[in-house]
Amino acid sequence: MSFREKSAWVALVAIVLVSAMYVFHVPRVFAPNPWAMTALVVSLVAFIVIEVVAWLVLRFRHPQDAHTPKDELERLIELKALRLAMYVYVAGSFLSTFVTVHHVRGSAQMLGACLLVAFIVAGIVNYTARIVYYRRHA
């Protein structure tokens, strides 16, 4: 398994873990909640910390790979995965707007929560697609 694939795994696990933590602390994601913003900031910080620590561990274990710039296949995989994630995020954004406008209790907070969900799903799709493409080319 290459260094970049391991990095994608780390990011995927981190995003799933942090999202699960967020949903655990803010169970009704779409309803108004005074702790939503605090939980969001804490989740974001937790994600960054997990990513940085895991990246440092990976870099320590694979010092040569970590310093090697991305080659053309790795860049292609990243672009393909990002394109898929973009489709998901754009579809999620349109769906969020539609749901908020047509929902009886639609609010700015609900729109924000919907966009956050779309962003997280897009992130999961991004890293999952990278792993799938890396496996396909392995």
Partner 1 sequence: MTKVSIANHIRRLRFEHREMTQQELAAKIGVSRQTVNAIETGKYWPSLEVAFRIAEVFGRRVDEVFDYSREGRR
Between 27 and 72, CB nearer to partner 1: 72
Q: Is 73 in the site for partner 1 (CB under 8 A)?
A: yes
Q: Is 74 in the site for partner 1 (CB under 8 A)?
A: yes
**For residues 8 and 125, what is the distance between their CA atoms, to the nearest angstrom?**
11
3-state secondary structure 28-47: CCCCCCCCHHHHHHHHHHHH
**For residues 88 and 86, what is the distance between their CA atoms, to the nearest angstrom?**
5
Range in contact with partner 1 (rule: CB under 8 A) among 1-9, 51-59, 111-119, 122-130: 1-9
CB 18 within 8 A of CB 43: yes
Q: Is 79 in the site for partner 1 (CB under 8 A)?
A: no
Q: Is 38 in the site for partner 1 (CB under 8 A)?
A: no
Q: Is 138 in the site for partner 1 (CB under 8 A)?
A: yes
Q: Is 9 in the site for partner 1 (CB under 8 A)?
A: no
Separation of first and last alpha carbons in the chain: 8
CB 122 within 8 A of CB 19: no
Q: Is 72 in the site for partner 1 (CB under 8 A)?
A: yes
Binding residues for partner 1, per CB under 8 A?
A: 2, 4-5, 65, 68, 71-74, 134, 136-138
